[in-house]
């Protein structure tokens, strides 16, 4: 059997079983595509954390610790209310050891490991959410675009109280995943606790094939701005983003939407930054055995185009690296809500009899260009804007302006402007009729105050730029 040695670069391993095309790269080559301007540089071991390393146990102390462990196994095997053999007790002990290290480490027994290798290679049935443990609760990191969970109304930050009739208190993520995945067309009921809601909410969700479109590029109506949505970092993100943006021609600004993006391939996160940053370190990994810097060099396709990045509590891991790097280089304005704060790297290590089991182990932390960590902190936006619709005021409210008053003064330019606009209106109307229906329309914008705010920032940026140039 070929050994699988994966870096886990999205939110959490188990939640990936609900998402088509889980973001993993083989550690032998890190999955970097040929032609990408990315440099992988091994970090100097001397730059490890300066804190004093923990004293190693002597051989006698180590032997005593192992004897203590086996004594505990014997006590459980001989006295527990139900029959257990030594192998079962050892498996439970390993599982407990890994799960108590941190929220992302886990013991993958043979079935779980086989599921990983099968599910990461193709599409499958699920509901399409990324989950993790936050403050001890099973929490939705993000629902994926155009999936049953998203359509049902599941939101980032929702706490899953029950899956069908099973409480999630102390439930492991892998077990939660197993309960939520299933045959296409079957249903699962999630009981959700949501901030601001007085009582739990119930969602009946029909499972479906999970095929997530990772990248969407569009023009924003009535502007010369581009909207770039990245839902997850799969292997085609940078290529599709570059192609889509270039097809729009000359643009005066870009809104990069990373809201609800749970992560994905690290190399794609780095190469996406390379579209906007000419050179420099994007992210560093530091751990006991994993130490390296990922840099970009060789120029950028859009080095000077004004850029606003949208983030929220569902933006995690790779998307936090992108937003954080662009913020550190002062290349973009980050707008929205604080991100998830997943700044650690997991590696899947084959283990046990013939490598049929595995240990998913946290092996390093991410650090942004300025050296800051996002672990359990996340990215704080430059401009904080909560989600919601754009307030439009009372439709029944009467408003009077100068032009509504009798005998108001006429603007001497009005007639000239009116005459000039006739031809232009005709031309604009024709263009509107032939415009791409996929454009971000004004009706979409008024339903999304974060997007509206991002567009306003680009407009302000443009005005300041023009005045500065003069």
User: Which sequence positions are flagged as catalytic?
Assistant: 317, 328, 342
Helix and strand element counts for the chain (H, E): 11, 22
Q: DSSP string of 346-413?
A: EEEEEESGGG-EEEEEEEEEEE-TTS-B-TTT-PPPSEE--S-PPP---TT-----GGGSTTPPPPTT
| Token pair for 420 | 């000039």
Give the integer Cα–Cα distance in Å for 364 and 43: 12
Bridge partners for 348 per DSSP: 6, 360
Give the integer Cα–Cα distance in Å for 177 and 181: 6
Contact, 340 vs 311, CB < 8 A?
no
Contact, 375 vs 368, CB < 8 A?
no
Place of tokens 């009981």: 191
Torsion, Cα of 380, 381, 382, 385 (10° steps): -130
DSSP state of 54: P
Nearest-10 crossing angle of helices 266-273, 318-328: 30
Radius of gyration of the chain (CA): 26
Give the integer Cα–Cα distance in Å for 58 and 65: 11
Bridge partners for 333 per DSSP: 308
């Amino acid at each position: 059997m070929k050994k699988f040695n994966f870096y886990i670069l999205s939110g959490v391993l188990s939640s990936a079983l609900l998402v088509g095309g889980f973001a993993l790269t083989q550690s032998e080559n890190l999955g970097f595509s040929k032609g990408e301007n990315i440099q992988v540089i091994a970090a100097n071991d001397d730059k490890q954390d300066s804190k004093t390393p923990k004293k190693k146990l002597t051989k006698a102390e180590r032997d005593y610790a192992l004897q203590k462990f086996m004594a505990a196994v014997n006590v459980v095997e001989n006295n527990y209310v139900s029959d257990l053999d030594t192998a079962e007790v050892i498996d439970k002990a390993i599982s407990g050891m890994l799960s108590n290290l941190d929220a992302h480490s886990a013991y993958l027994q043979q079935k779980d490991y086989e599921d990983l290798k099968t599910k990461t290679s193709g599409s499958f049935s699920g509901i399409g959410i990324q989950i993790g443990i936050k403050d001890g609760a099973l929490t939705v990191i993000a629902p994926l675009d155009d999936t049953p969970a998203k359509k049902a109304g599941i939101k980032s930050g929702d706490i899953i109280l029950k899956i069908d009739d099973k409480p999630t208190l102390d439930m492991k993520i892998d077990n939660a995943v197993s309960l939520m995945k299933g045959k296409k067309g079957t249903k699962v009921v999630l009981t959700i606790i949501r901030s601001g809601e007085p009582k739990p909410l119930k969602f009946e969700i029909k499972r479906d094939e999970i095929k997530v479109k990772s990248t969407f590029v569009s023009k924003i109506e009535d502007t010369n701005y581009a909207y770039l949505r990245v839902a997850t970092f799969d292997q085609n993100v940078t290529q599709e983003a570059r192609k889509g943006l270039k097809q729009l021609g000359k643009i005066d600004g870009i809104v990069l939407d990373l809201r609800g993006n749970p992560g994905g391939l690290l190399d794609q996160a780095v190469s996406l930054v390379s579209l906007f940053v000419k050179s420099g370190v994007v992210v560093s990994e530091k751990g006991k055995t994993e130490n390296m810097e990922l840099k970009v060099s060789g120029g950028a396709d859009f080095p000077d185009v004004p850029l606003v990045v949208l983030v929220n509590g569902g933006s995690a891991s790779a998307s936090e690296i992108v937003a954080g790097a662009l913020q550190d280089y002062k290349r973009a304005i980050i707008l929205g809500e604080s991100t998830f704060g997943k700044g650690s790297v997991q590696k899947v290590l084959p283990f046990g009899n013939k490598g049929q089991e595995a240990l998913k182990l946290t092996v390093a932390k991410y650090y942004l260009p300025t050296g800051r960590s996002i672990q359990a902190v996340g990215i704080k936006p430059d401009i904080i804007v909560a989600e919601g619709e754009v307030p439009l005021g009372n439709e029944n409210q009467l408003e009077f302006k100068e032009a509504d008053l009798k005998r108001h003064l006429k603007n001497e330019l009005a007639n000239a402007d009116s005459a000039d606009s006739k031809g232009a209106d005709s031309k604009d109307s024709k263009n509107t009729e032939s415009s791409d229906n996929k454009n971000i329309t004004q009706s979409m914008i008024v339903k999304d105050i974060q997007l509206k705010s991002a567009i306003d920032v680009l407009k302000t940026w443009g005005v300041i730029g023009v005045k500065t140039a003069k």
